[in-house]
Chain A
Amino acid sequence: MEQAFFLLLAAVAVTAALLVVLARNPIHSALALVACLVQIAALYVLLGAPFLAVIQIFVYVGAVMVLFLFVIMMLDVRKEAQVRFLRGPLLPGLVVLAVLAGEMIALLLHSTRLHAVMGPGQPVLEQPSVADLSLLLFQEYLLPFEVASVILLVALIGAVVLAREDGASAAKAARKEPRGAAR
């Protein structure tokens, strides 16, 4: 039963991921990525990490992807989508990807050390609870947690500064505008 669920989720996730890369319209890509991220959240539930699944949906689907969709719709990039792939030969990139994929699949299938770590898939004894997770996060990993919050604050300020118009050019635009409007 679990395996059937996993196969269903994995198939949808891979299809959505292919759609992200192949879609012509950036909005379609973003929506396919939302679908893929929801599948991955469901996989976290299968892995016994329901809290992480909720975080994934809140942060990725709720915040990050909505930000992406806002930017896509605000910038009106539909005319940019005529040429999907880079100009020039695509062969070097494809070779790099093929080597990467071959390496990873070979490692996963044939590495004895990895299989020694993973074992034959023993049944899980007891599911760790959210309380255990929070204790570990707020005791052992308290400093990284605070650093992450500082990083988020810095990113917030940086995004505002970057996306704001320049003081000088904004003033120029404001000076130009009323004259044009009066005519």
Chain B
Amino acid sequence: MIPTSWYLILAAVLFVIGGAGVLLRRNVLIVLMSLELMLNSVTINLVAFGHVLQDLRGQIIAIFVIAITAAEVAVALGILVALLRNKHSLEVDELTVLKG
């Protein structure tokens, strides 16, 4: 029997690691991948609570999260390809088009 707090602590650790990737890395691709990691850690929480409370809604919401993530990644990578074609750069500190 695994204590639920173990799952929650693992999810918190993964969330912080993903946050480090989002905040500190320079490459847009790695930032996107770290975002995936953060979403996954949240999904672990949902499923763990669903398991403890004997409620299937945690899994349902996790399925929706996965579906929306797939859509998000498709659009994000499309933007990224267009960006690379126009700016020839993938580094977050050089992408300041919206700065005015």
Given known pairs A20-B21, A55-B66, A152-B70, the reply for A125 and B54 (CB within 8 Å) is yes
Interface size on A, residues (CB 8 A): 84
| Contact of B73 with A97 in the complex, beta carbons under 8 Å | no
Q: Which of B23, B56, B90, B93 contacts A97 (CB 8 A)?
A: B23
Inter-chain CA distance A29–B60, complex, in Å, is 29
Given contacts A17-B17, A51-B59, 18 further A-B contacts (CB under 8 A): A17-B18, A20-B34, A21-B18, A33-B36, A40-B40, A55-B66, A56-B66, A59-B67, A67-B73, A75-B84, A80-B89, A83-B26, A86-B24, A108-B9, A117-B52, A121-B52, A128-B54, A144-B64
Inter-chain CA distance A17–B9, complex, in Å, is 15
Interface size on B, residues (CB 8 A): 72
Contact surface of B with A, Cβ cutoff 8 Å: 1-10, 12-21, 23-27, 29-30, 32-34, 36-37, 40, 43-44, 47-48, 50-54, 56-57, 59-60, 62-64, 66-75, 77-82, 84-85, 89-93
A168 within 8 Å of B (CB atoms): no
Interface of B is mostly: helix
The total number of A-B Cβ pairs within 8 Å is 222
Q: Which of B5, B37, B51, B84 contacts A48 (CB 8 A)?
A: B51
Contact residues, A148-183 vs B (CB, 8 A): 148, 151-152, 154-156, 158-163, 165
Residues on the A chain within 8 Å of B56, using CB = 128, 132-133, 136
A146 to chain B, nearest CB (A): 12
Q: Which of A21, A36, A51, A133 contacts B20 (CB 8 A)?
A: A21
Inter-chain CA distance A151–B23, complex, in Å, is 28
Residues on the A chain within 8 Å of B74, using CB = 67, 155-156, 158-159
